[in-house]
Structure 1
């Protein structure tokens, strides 16, 4: 462990900051806090406001394999830097969103076009190549960035909203990317040279890392199991996170209480990231992931109704965070373990796509259920079932493939 982290800790730290400040967590931690003010000012309902994530999520998901392919071909450093800069510019420009619903959607669509390269689709490839025996823990540390975002950004954004209105939330959130993440990305983030790779990392005869092509991966059941599981779990999780503040307020608590619950979600993400990553390195990952996916099902049950006590809501928020902490670890870790690293970017991009699509559609459906029934209970009931099915599906992945299976080349 010491030798891998001695060589790769700078890259992990830079990737952690990049993940924290990029387009994966920032929009999902800003939108819950501006939904109410936007609803009050423009009169748009929660379904209309939430539908913006569909524009960003679906476009980003469709482009994730493209950006992943760019990473495989041109290197993660170049793709990550350019996409992070584009994310900063576009998200800050949300300050100028007009009182015109199509304009709101156009801004989110622009974000989807340029920002997917500032997500773990990019950062995880480099980290996976610096680590082998402790890859799960390293990826978990990298993905702690989303937990750090959920812990600190909502409070900072809430301060910015109180100071300058909901519009100020967007440029305020990009301050972290510009002044915290970018200096470390420029200084430390890169892929390892061949001689810097872990000695245990399996390499092909041509000196490159082993791994299946996208076509080969798609011919196996593991690819489709991961894809379906990711879709089901993200479909359940995305809306629960986005609408968490509204759920808390429906139970009679304040916006400040909601921010506290969001911080508890972040704590769950942190525990999920480190704990699950550590366990993935030591045990069969699907066997770890399945029980972890039952925890957010419990959370959805706790969040139903309007009279749950605040401690139980905090506990439910924590368990929802565990789901987020586990799910992105599952995709990143199992892509490397089941398909290798040679074409990691494209394969991970395709498997990240259902995560983006499910997370994008989910908030709109949660909002629709809220608008039509007055509560989130129906959607939370569906989420209980989907978390359980999505976790159980992973048990069908089977054993990790050996070097010979990962060294097969397309003919």
Structure 2
């Protein structure tokens, strides 16, 4: 089946995923912490390390919730999960708009928000898109994940001038309104959506969602461990740079307009990377594509580290490449290596490794800045981590479920392919 045919059946699912991922539990809180960082520091006198710890708490909450969200996504309609989480996130943004100068309540508020908003992460969207688009999964996942790129373009252009004129409290109110509007649109798009499995039963085995590994089989495989390690390293390298990028540029004297422009350019690169990676994953071995992207990301970080603010475009490229590709890779690798028996739970666990790295990385960047006065060691450390990540990805074997047509019959769903269990 062509991509156009699949899109004609499931366009609403793809559009909902683009909006949901772009304005979800990662994109909006990350934008708040990153874009508001210098203004909140100025108002309350908190250190960069302390503000970065807020990101660590937030992402830790998402990481703790990700496996549960995966379990829910395997069992319940996505619109219920997303609707609750988006509404919760909007409510907590309004609470944060009234925050005082005490750091602990501020961090606790972010942490509770993350626990309740985790259903608006990529986990449920990746599952429903992967089930709907069986023949063109890489393309569909790439297009779904482009939502983060689009929000990466739009949010800085909206929030940086808003905060510059009206303050960061108005920024939180704006994020609450964005979350509520997005929730209404997503639920509306998915309300009448047919089950992807049922809708595609005329073109493939309707039991495809029952094909693949059990959770225990997936966790016992070396491929799972290598993927988890790779995603952890990529997140450690990229998340801190992403969160501190605006502050790095501001520390070097760039104007608010220039910072907004460079920050939004991350979204452009991220969008291009996600679409491009998705198309390449359908054409070439996934491990080669992924390792190449991480290698190029390492080169871009190196260029940014060596050239300073003049290399801001390279910094944007580095962030867009690494952050843009890793989420695509999780969804694609999960479906191709482990199938759909426990897709949501396996995806949730792999996604949690990204979140763990994303929780630690900003804290490391902030600590290095506070202790040494610059980000140099953090940047060169990121280069090393990305190179190790690329090397690990190259050790992966070819996945056993290359296309829907090659998917094994459900009678073998609990028999892991030999290509996965070996060393």
TM over 0.5: yes
Unaligned runs of 5+ in 1: none
Contact 1:32 1:243 in 2 (8 A): yes
Contact 2:288 2:394 in 1 (8 A): yes
Q: Residue in 1 aligned with 2:59?
A: 57
* 1:37-56 Cα shifts (integer Å, max 9, x gaps): 11111111100011011111
Residue 308 of structure 2 aligns to a residue whose secondary structure is coil
Contact 1:121 1:345 in 2 (8 A): yes
- Counting only pairs closer than 5 Å after superposition, residues 1-400 of structure 1 correspond to structure 2 as 1-188=3-190, 190=193, 192-197=195-200, 201=204, 203-204=206-207, 208-304=209-305, 308=308, 310=310, 312-400=311-399
Residues 280 and 191 from structure 1, CA distance in 2 versus in 1: closer, same or farther, beyond 3 angstroms? Answer: farther
* 1:192-250 Cα shifts (integer Å, max 9, x gaps): 2543126565554xx74312111110111111111100000001111100000122233
Q: Please give the alpha-carbon distance, in whole angstroms, between the structure 2 residues aligned to 1:332 and 1:191.
A: 21
For these two proteins, the number of residue pairs brought into alignment is: 407
Q: Please give the alpha-carbon distance, in whole angstroms, between the structure 2 residues aligned to 1:5 and 1:209.
A: 23
Deviation, 1:252, is 3.3
Contact 1:61 1:353 in 2 (8 A): yes
Q: Residue in 1 aligned with 2:421?
A: none
* 1:55-98 Cα shifts (integer Å, max 9, x gaps): 11112101100111011122322212211211121123211222
Q: Please give the alpha-carbon distance, in whole angstroms, between the structure 2 residues aligned to 1:148 and 1:241.
A: 15
Q: Please give the alpha-carbon distance, in whole angstroms, between the structure 2 residues aligned to 1:158 and 1:44.
A: 20
Alignment TM-score, normalising by the size of structure 1: 0.94
Residues 201 and 212 from structure 1, CA distance in 2 versus in 1: closer, same or farther, beyond 3 angstroms? Answer: farther
Unaligned runs of 5+ in 2: 402-406, 417-423
Q: Please give the alpha-carbon distance, in whole angstroms, between the structure 2 residues aligned to 1:94 and 1:30.
A: 10
Q: Residue in 1 aligned with 2:413?
A: 408
Contact 1:300 1:384 in 2 (8 A): yes
Q: Please give the alpha-carbon distance, in whole angstroms, between the structure 2 residues aligned to 1:193 and 1:271.
A: 27
Contact 2:139 2:275 in 1 (8 A): yes
Root-mean-square deviation over aligned CA pairs: 2.0
Deviation, 1:327, is 0.7
Q: Please give the alpha-carbon distance, in whole angstroms, between the structure 2 residues aligned to 1:208 and 1:179.
A: 32
Q: Please give the alpha-carbon distance, in whole angstroms, between the structure 1 residues aligned to 2:152 and 2:277.
A: 18
